[in-house]
Structure 1
Amino acid sequence: MAQILAPTSQWQMKVTKSSATASPMTAKMWGSLVLKQNKKGPTRSPTKFRVLATKSEGYTINRLEGLLNLDLTPFTDKIIAEYIWIGGSGIDVRSKSRTISKPVEDPSELPKWNYDGSSTGQAPGEDSEVILYPQAIFKDPFRGGNNILVICDAYTPQGEPIPTNKRARAAEIFKNKKVIDEVPWYGIEQEYTLLQTDVKWPLGWPVGGYPGPQGPYYCGAGADKSFGRDISDAHYKACLYAGINISGTNGEVMPGQWEYQVGPSVGIEAGDHIWASRYILERITEQAGVVLTLDPKPIEGDWNGAGCHTNYSTKSMREDGGFEVIKKAILNLSLRHGEHISAYGEGNERRLTGKHETASINTFSWGVANRGCSIRVGRETEKQGKGYLEDRRPASNMDPYIVTSLLAETTLLWEPTLEAEALAAQKLSLNV
């Protein structure tokens, strides 16, 4: 529900060493580990036993935490690269780590890798090797230092994109000269829901019950209104550290639901940044013991669903006279409504009901400042005569590579017939 108006330069984050960062474990520290197993007394339960190491300064640190916080930079040039890719469902993120001999600045410096596609639903067991191509690099907020997260896409050993690799097709569209010349900007509003681990019920909700009706939760504060703010804030800071172009965050209408905005980003970068941000959110919720879901309608009934509204503009839309260009783009979008809906996320029909700030999935509409339309145009855009449009149809589990490239293709590369264009223009004029 945020408005994103203009792109900013990539943040360059510098890591400052905190005094709380654990130092490398020395032999003396390891030697201070005491296991008094011969002492008489009640046997300790293994589930309650904690292994501690005592530092000579007189305080104790958790051994595992000390190792996790080790700063490798003074001791080796080697770094850890976490290769991340999209799994067989098209929405799950997978990853594995490898050691790289020195810090890198560009994906081209990284080697290709492979994984067992039969274990992710992406290849048969008798020919299971899938090849990862590094495409985008982000700083690793979990390991720190020079360590990196690497967004990859997947190919057969013969170099063909596998079916779940939607990035390759998007990259082709964004390399088209017509698209490049129009410098497409995207601002993506990612909504998500936090669930309690054991019961898979929204965070903060009474188990098997419901909170009070919607109203006080959107952008609310207080223990009875905001559930999961620490996760949202940790994710916000981790994304900034990583170099993701995150521009804001807020609590959403349904309690236990949050949103963050990524962008404006240009072209293929929008998809890379959304997938990296999703991976970081999965890792943070993993550490917090909370389940993340991108289901577009996690709770049936009188509750808002979860979307991934996509703000979009081209160079021509942002210049004087751009409002007419926006109207032409909307006309094209109306003619390909079915194609867009089929690519905008699984289960989206449960969300796009015409209620809860959505348009019906079966009809296309647009309006100024109307959140019940398929396409919303802001008041400021109408006033200035230029700006951007917001596609409110994508679900929270949409693939950003598909949505962003499809918007560019439909509005910049695809041309309707004159008859279809005239008919669509007549229908749209009746909807406004």
Structure 2
Amino acid sequence: MAKYKLEYLWLDGYKPVPNLRGKTQIKEYESFPTLEQLPLWGFDGSSTKQAEGRSSDCVLKPVSVFPDSTRTNGVLVMCEVIMPDGVTPHSTNARATILDDPGAWFGFEQEYFFYKNGRPLGFPETGYPAPQGPYYTGVGYSNVGNMARQIVEEHLDICLAAGINHEGINAEVAKGQWEFQIFGKGSKKAADEMWVARYILQRLGEKYGVDIEYHCKPLGNTDWNGSGMHANFSTTYMREVGGKDYFEQLMAAFEAAKDDHIAVYGPDNHMRLTGLHETQSIDMFSWGIADRGASIRVPHSFIKNDYKGYLEDRRPNSQGDPYQIASQILKTISSVALAKSVAA
């Protein structure tokens, strides 16, 4: 038997954006524990805006498990928050009720800034560095500094060792801004991996003395890019059947549901979706072939392949909850499928 360090992770009750929380318990197992072997575990919800002090018990329900290479016998356990009855989802539990479909594939492009002493990493103490241009996919000290690449490379290795489907990294348009990509099959799986990857990155920042800034426009109304979390998505039908008629119905459904999408695509998106810096205005909807200023970007390959493949929703921002984003996308897609079945 070996003692395993189980780091239980969950989302707290803060609004408009929940925080990641984590605490460790030690359990003995003969080998790396399976999800079924992991127990429920209580916590003080009054300290996380999930309960009142006079009735503070909340419960963590493990829903996915990952090896943690940073600890001897380390385990990362993503959890849902449930009520003390051990069954009922807590009101802050966004995962429990979302639409899910293993045939729906999601690729999230998580942008963020490294911050140190209240400024993006690499910014001078006052003012701004040289304008945007050389930083995107840049190389060299003047472009990316001497710390950021160490962090993103280490983050990549920890995620891969955990079995998270981390697909890539790159420096982004603004100085101190980076991106990583996560791909998963099914809303819950893709979102679980994104939240755990975020946790790993934030924890890693402790080691280097930097914070991870997910706000979609941390530099405010300036000529510096904001941060998004573009959502690439497809369903089995989109990949295998598709067709121009279906695509046009799908885009009509996305336009009709514009406000529903914006409502869950992250706070303060009006600061980012201005129609500038390769964004469509928050009040409008458009799609375009390889158009980075559209609400939904359509790859050339999608058109060439008889309107089959994947699409990219460019509106979700870097603070968005991937559970809610994936669920809303599936809800809109399902409305087209339902309409087609009714018409038939």
* Cα pair 1:185 1:266 within 8 Å, conserved: yes
**Structure 1 counterpart of 2:57:** 129
1:309 counterpart = 2:236: no
Q: TM-score, normalised by structure 1?
A: 0.74
SS of 2:24's equivalent in the other structure is strand
Q: Out of 77, 82, 95, which is 1:150 matched to?
A: 77
1:399 counterpart = 2:317: no
Let me know the Cα RMSD of the aligned residues: 1.8
**Structure 2 counterpart of 1:244:** 164
Q: Out of 198, 202, 213, which is 2:131 matched to?
A: 213
- In the TM superposition, what is the alpha-carbon distance from 1:87 to its structure 2 partner? 1.4
The CA deviation string for residues 82-106 of structure 1, in whole angstroms up to 9 with x for no partner, is 0000112243110000111203443
Amino acid at match of 1:209: G
* Cα pair 2:187 2:323 within 8 Å, conserved: no
**Structure 1 counterpart of 2:13:** 88
Q: List gaps (5 residues or longer) in structure 1.
A: 1-75, 419-432
Amino acid at match of 2:41: W
Could you say which structure has the larger radius of gyration?
Answer: 1
The CA deviation string for residues 11-31 of structure 1, in whole angstroms up to 9 with x for no partner, is xxxxxxxxxxxxxxxxxxxxx
Rounded Cα–Cα distance in structure 1 between residues aligned with 2:289 and 2:143: 30
Rounded Cα–Cα distance in structure 2 between residues aligned with 1:110 and 1:157: 17
1:327 counterpart = 2:327: no
Counting only pairs closer than 5 Å after superposition, residues 134-283 of structure 1 correspond to structure 2 as 134-144=62-72, 146-158=73-85, 159-170=87-98, 173-174=99-100, 179=101, 183-196=103-116, 198=117, 200-227=118-145, 228-283=148-203
- In the TM superposition, what is the alpha-carbon distance from 1:209 to its structure 2 partner? 1.4
How many residues end up aligned between the 2 structures? Answer: 333
Amino acid at match of 1:407: I
Counting only pairs closer than 5 Å after superposition, residues 280-359 of structure 1 correspond to structure 2 as 280-300=200-220, 301-359=222-280
- In the TM superposition, what is the alpha-carbon distance from 1:267 to its structure 2 partner? 3.0
Matched residues, percent identical? 42
Amino acid at match of 1:271: A
* Cα pair 2:64 2:78 within 8 Å, conserved: yes
* Cα pair 1:104 1:110 within 8 Å, conserved: no
- In the TM superposition, what is the alpha-carbon distance from 1:284 to its structure 2 partner? 0.6
The CA deviation string for residues 361-401 of structure 1, in whole angstroms up to 9 with x for no partner, is 01111111001011111111111221111010101010010
Amino acid at match of 2:310: Y
* Cα pair 2:253 2:335 within 8 Å, conserved: no
Q: List gaps (5 residues or longer) in structure 2.
A: none
* Cα pair 1:323 1:387 within 8 Å, conserved: no
The CA deviation string for residues 31-64 of structure 1, in whole angstroms up to 9 with x for no partner, is xxxxxxxxxxxxxxxxxxxxxxxxxxxxxxxxxx
- In the TM superposition, what is the alpha-carbon distance from 1:314 to its structure 2 partner? 0.7
The CA deviation string for residues 121-168 of structure 1, in whole angstroms up to 9 with x for no partner, is 111111111100000001112104x32100001011133222221000
